[in-house]
Amino acid sequence: KNIALVAHDHRKKDMIEWVEWNVSNLLQHRLTCTGTTGRLVEKAIREKQVDLAIPDDFTMVKLRSGPLGGDQQLGALITEGKIDLIIFFWDPMQPQPHDVDVKALLRIAVLYNVPIACNRSTADFIISSPLMTYEYAPIVPSHEAYLQRELVADPREGRRVDAIRPDGRADDAPVGAPVIGPRWDQRREGENITLN
């Protein structure tokens, strides 16, 4: 499996402890890490090398640091089908300078049905799952309806923005059919426009 390991600064100690505890399992997989987490994980694995032989085919990819684009690099790997699961120890108590990147990474992982462990308990459940030793093909939802939607040039004209309803079903109304309610520039403050 291709396992991504990510940890915010205040959670890196937890990640390294988890890696040391699970190093024999992790050596059977390919690891991808962001920035400093990768350096610390590699160091922890090398220190355990005395007890365990590192397999010849063991690989570890180190991406950029999260705030410097590593989260986005990881998101791109997810969209390419190159990541099977993520162990992401994020810090719920500290704001991050790259919170938008973190949110985007979590969104992409959910969108592509990639399992994410955000705490040690979940990581323990995942790494010990029998599915870790078998080939597993996750069901990735089709996004074809989204890709095929028709967009209107200027939604401010009081017309439909696209031909897909909010519930995801294709809408029979022609593109450009008027929206129920006033145009964007005619509505009162706090009033919503309803799309049918």
Is residue 71 part of the annotated active site? The answer reads yes
Token pair listed for 115: 């399992």
Reading the block at residue 82, the tokens are 């190159």
Q: HSE, CB side, 13 Å, CA atoms: give it for residue 110.
A: 7
Beta carbons within 8 Å of 111's beta carbon, 6+ residues apart:
141, 143
Cβ count within 10 A of residue 90: 19
Residue type, position 108, single letter? I
Q: Which of 9, 56, 71, 91 is catalytic?
A: 71
By the 8 A CB rule, do 11 and 37 touch? no
**Residues labelled catalytic:** 71
